[in-house]
Amino acid sequence: MKKYIFTCIVFAVAVISCKTKEGSTSSDTTGIHLPYAANYTTNFNNNVSDSDLLMVLNSYKGWETGDLNALRATMGDSIYVNGADGFHFAGLTDSLMKDWKTMRDSLSSVKITMDVWLKNHAVKDSNNYINVWYKEIDTYKSGKVDSANYEDDNGLKNGKIIWYSSHKQSLKPLH
Protein backbone atom coordinates (compact mmCIF):
# COMPACT_ATOMS: atom_id res chain seq x y z
CA MET A 1 0.00 0.00 0.00
CA LYS A 2 2.84 2.40 0.86
CA LYS A 3 4.40 1.69 -2.52
CA TYR A 4 1.08 2.60 -4.24
CA ILE A 5 0.77 5.90 -2.33
CA PHE A 6 4.43 6.73 -3.06
CA THR A 7 3.87 6.01 -6.77
CA CYS A 8 0.79 8.29 -6.83
CA ILE A 9 2.72 11.11 -5.15
CA VAL A 10 5.63 10.77 -7.58
CA PHE A 11 3.22 10.77 -10.51
CA ALA A 12 1.38 13.87 -9.21
CA VAL A 13 4.64 15.76 -8.70
CA ALA A 14 5.79 14.80 -12.20
CA VAL A 15 2.51 16.01 -13.75
CA ILE A 16 2.58 19.30 -11.85
CA SER A 17 6.22 19.96 -12.68
CA CYS A 18 5.65 19.36 -16.42
CA LYS A 19 2.84 21.94 -16.70
CA THR A 20 4.04 25.27 -18.07
CA LYS A 21 2.48 28.69 -18.20
CA GLU A 22 2.05 30.61 -21.47
CA GLY A 23 5.31 32.21 -22.55
CA SER A 24 7.40 30.09 -20.22
CA THR A 25 9.89 27.44 -21.09
CA SER A 26 9.19 23.74 -20.88
CA SER A 27 10.80 20.40 -20.30
CA ASP A 28 10.58 17.45 -22.63
CA THR A 29 9.93 13.92 -21.41
CA THR A 30 13.62 13.38 -20.67
CA GLY A 31 13.68 16.33 -18.25
CA ILE A 32 15.75 18.52 -20.56
CA HIS A 33 14.94 22.21 -20.08
CA LEU A 34 13.76 23.61 -23.41
CA PRO A 35 14.21 27.33 -24.15
CA TYR A 36 10.72 27.67 -25.69
CA ALA A 37 7.21 26.39 -25.16
CA ALA A 38 5.31 25.44 -28.30
CA ASN A 39 2.67 27.98 -29.29
CA TYR A 40 0.31 25.41 -30.82
CA THR A 41 1.05 21.90 -29.59
CA THR A 42 3.72 19.25 -29.60
CA ASN A 43 1.31 16.42 -28.95
CA PHE A 44 0.98 14.66 -32.31
CA ASN A 45 0.56 11.06 -33.35
CA ASN A 46 0.35 9.46 -36.80
CA ASN A 47 -3.31 8.51 -36.53
CA VAL A 48 -4.16 9.79 -40.02
CA SER A 49 -5.75 7.45 -42.53
CA ASP A 50 -3.82 6.04 -45.46
CA SER A 51 -6.67 7.26 -47.70
CA ASP A 52 -5.90 10.84 -46.59
CA LEU A 53 -2.23 10.24 -47.41
CA LEU A 54 -3.21 8.87 -50.84
CA MET A 55 -5.43 11.90 -51.47
CA VAL A 56 -2.58 14.31 -50.64
CA LEU A 57 -0.08 12.43 -52.82
CA ASN A 58 -2.63 12.42 -55.65
CA SER A 59 -2.77 16.22 -55.41
CA TYR A 60 0.95 16.34 -56.26
CA LYS A 61 0.50 13.81 -59.06
CA GLY A 62 -2.27 16.01 -60.49
CA TRP A 63 0.10 19.00 -60.54
CA GLU A 64 2.95 16.95 -61.99
CA THR A 65 0.88 15.54 -64.84
CA GLY A 66 -1.04 18.75 -65.46
CA ASP A 67 -4.36 17.11 -64.52
CA LEU A 68 -5.86 20.06 -62.66
CA ASN A 69 -9.26 18.36 -62.42
CA ALA A 70 -7.63 15.57 -60.40
CA LEU A 71 -5.82 18.18 -58.29
CA ARG A 72 -9.09 20.07 -57.69
CA ALA A 73 -10.80 16.85 -56.56
CA THR A 74 -8.38 16.61 -53.61
CA MET A 75 -9.38 19.99 -52.19
CA GLY A 76 -12.25 21.28 -50.12
CA ASP A 77 -14.66 23.94 -51.36
CA SER A 78 -12.50 26.65 -49.81
CA ILE A 79 -8.79 26.72 -49.06
CA TYR A 80 -6.06 28.82 -47.50
CA VAL A 81 -2.71 28.83 -49.33
CA ASN A 82 0.68 30.19 -48.29
CA GLY A 83 2.86 29.65 -51.36
CA ALA A 84 6.65 29.34 -51.27
CA ASP A 85 6.91 32.25 -53.73
CA GLY A 86 4.93 34.66 -51.51
CA PHE A 87 1.58 33.84 -53.14
CA HIS A 88 -1.27 33.97 -50.60
CA PHE A 89 -4.86 32.94 -51.12
CA ALA A 90 -7.92 32.49 -48.92
CA GLY A 91 -11.22 31.74 -50.58
CA LEU A 92 -13.09 29.42 -52.88
CA THR A 93 -10.93 26.68 -54.35
CA ASP A 94 -12.44 27.15 -57.80
CA SER A 95 -11.03 30.71 -57.84
CA LEU A 96 -7.62 29.41 -56.80
CA MET A 97 -7.67 26.86 -59.62
CA LYS A 98 -7.88 29.69 -62.18
CA ASP A 99 -4.59 31.10 -60.84
CA TRP A 100 -2.96 27.67 -60.67
CA LYS A 101 -4.09 26.86 -64.21
CA THR A 102 -2.25 29.96 -65.46
CA MET A 103 0.84 28.96 -63.49
CA ARG A 104 0.76 25.34 -64.71
CA ASP A 105 0.12 26.40 -68.33
CA SER A 106 3.48 28.24 -68.30
CA LEU A 107 5.26 24.91 -67.78
CA SER A 108 5.99 22.30 -70.42
CA SER A 109 6.85 19.68 -67.78
CA VAL A 110 7.03 19.07 -64.04
CA LYS A 111 8.94 16.24 -62.39
CA ILE A 112 8.32 15.54 -58.69
CA THR A 113 10.42 13.12 -56.66
CA MET A 114 8.94 12.46 -53.23
CA ASP A 115 11.56 12.06 -50.50
CA VAL A 116 9.42 11.51 -47.42
CA TRP A 117 6.00 12.20 -45.96
CA LEU A 118 4.74 12.31 -42.42
CA LYS A 119 1.19 11.87 -41.17
CA ASN A 120 0.43 14.10 -38.15
CA HIS A 121 -2.72 14.10 -36.04
CA ALA A 122 -2.89 16.96 -33.50
CA VAL A 123 -4.36 15.47 -30.34
CA LYS A 124 -5.25 18.95 -29.02
CA ASP A 125 -7.94 19.68 -31.62
CA SER A 126 -8.02 16.53 -33.79
CA ASN A 127 -6.67 18.33 -36.87
CA ASN A 128 -4.82 16.21 -39.42
CA TYR A 129 -1.77 17.29 -41.39
CA ILE A 130 0.38 15.57 -43.96
CA ASN A 131 3.85 17.01 -44.42
CA VAL A 132 5.80 16.15 -47.56
CA TRP A 133 9.43 16.74 -48.57
CA TYR A 134 10.21 16.50 -52.27
CA LYS A 135 12.27 17.77 -55.18
CA GLU A 136 10.53 19.45 -58.10
CA ILE A 137 12.04 20.22 -61.49
CA ASP A 138 10.00 22.66 -63.57
CA THR A 139 10.68 23.18 -67.26
CA TYR A 140 9.07 26.32 -68.63
CA LYS A 141 7.80 26.63 -72.17
CA SER A 142 10.54 29.24 -72.65
CA GLY A 143 13.14 26.53 -71.99
CA LYS A 144 14.13 27.79 -68.53
CA VAL A 145 14.58 25.00 -65.94
CA ASP A 146 14.00 25.60 -62.24
CA SER A 147 14.64 23.02 -59.53
CA ALA A 148 14.06 23.19 -55.81
CA ASN A 149 13.53 21.16 -52.68
CA TYR A 150 10.19 21.75 -50.98
CA GLU A 151 8.59 21.06 -47.64
CA ASP A 152 4.81 21.41 -47.71
CA ASP A 153 2.20 21.24 -44.97
CA ASN A 154 -1.23 20.02 -46.02
CA GLY A 155 -4.08 20.60 -43.56
CA LEU A 156 -7.02 18.23 -43.95
CA LYS A 157 -10.70 18.29 -43.08
CA ASN A 158 -13.27 15.68 -44.07
CA GLY A 159 -10.79 13.97 -46.40
CA LYS A 160 -9.92 17.13 -48.37
CA ILE A 161 -7.08 19.65 -48.35
CA ILE A 162 -8.25 22.94 -46.84
CA TRP A 163 -4.90 24.47 -45.90
CA TYR A 164 -1.60 24.39 -47.76
CA SER A 165 1.71 25.99 -46.86
CA SER A 166 4.88 25.55 -48.91
CA HIS A 167 8.55 26.23 -48.19
CA LYS A 168 11.17 26.27 -50.95
CA GLN A 169 14.92 25.82 -51.07
CA SER A 170 16.16 26.68 -54.56
CA LEU A 171 18.81 24.41 -55.99
CA LYS A 172 21.71 26.14 -57.65
CA PRO A 173 24.02 24.40 -60.12
CA LEU A 174 27.39 23.46 -58.63
CA HIS A 175 30.37 25.33 -60.09
Structural domains counted in the chain: 2
**Is 117 found in the same domain as 63?**
yes
How far is Cα 48 from Cα 52, in angstroms, rounded to an integer? Answer: 7
**Cβ atoms within 10 A of the Cβ of 98, count?**
9
| 126 in the same domain as 95 | yes
* pLDDT band of 20, cuts 50, 70, 90: very low
- Do 27 and 65 lie in one domain? The reply is no
94 and 165: one domain? yes
Please check whether residues 85 and 147 belong to one and the same domain.
yes
Q: Please check the confidence at residue 7 and state whether its pLDDT lies above 90.
A: no
User: Could you give the CA distance from residue 161 to residue 72 in angstroms, rounded to a whole number?
Assistant: 10
One domain for residues 124 and 93: yes
Q: According to the model, what pLDDT value does residue 127 have?
A: 95
Same domain, 157 and 113: yes
Residue type, 101: K
Question: Is residue 113 in some structural domain?
Answer: yes
Percent of the chain having pLDDT more than 90?
78
Cα 57 to Cα 122: distance, rounded to the nearest angstrom: 20
Are 26 and 55 in the same domain? no
Tens-place pLDDT, residues 66-77: 999 999 999 999
Q: Which domain holds residue 19?
A: 2-34
Residue 175 in any domain: the answer is no
- Is there a single domain that holds both residue 104 and residue 151? yes
Quote the CA–CA distance of 100 and 94 in Å, as a whole number.
10
What confidence tens digit (pLDDT) does each residue in 46-94 have?
999 999 999 999 999 999 999 999 999 999 999 999 999 999 999 999 9
150 inside domain = yes
Residues 6+ apart with CB under 8 A from 88: 81, 82
The CATH number for 137's domain is 3.10.450.50
- Residue 5 predicted with pLDDT over 80: no
Shared-domain flag, residues 58 and 16: no
Shared domain for 59 and 109, answered yes or no, is yes
- Do 14 and 76 belong to one domain? no
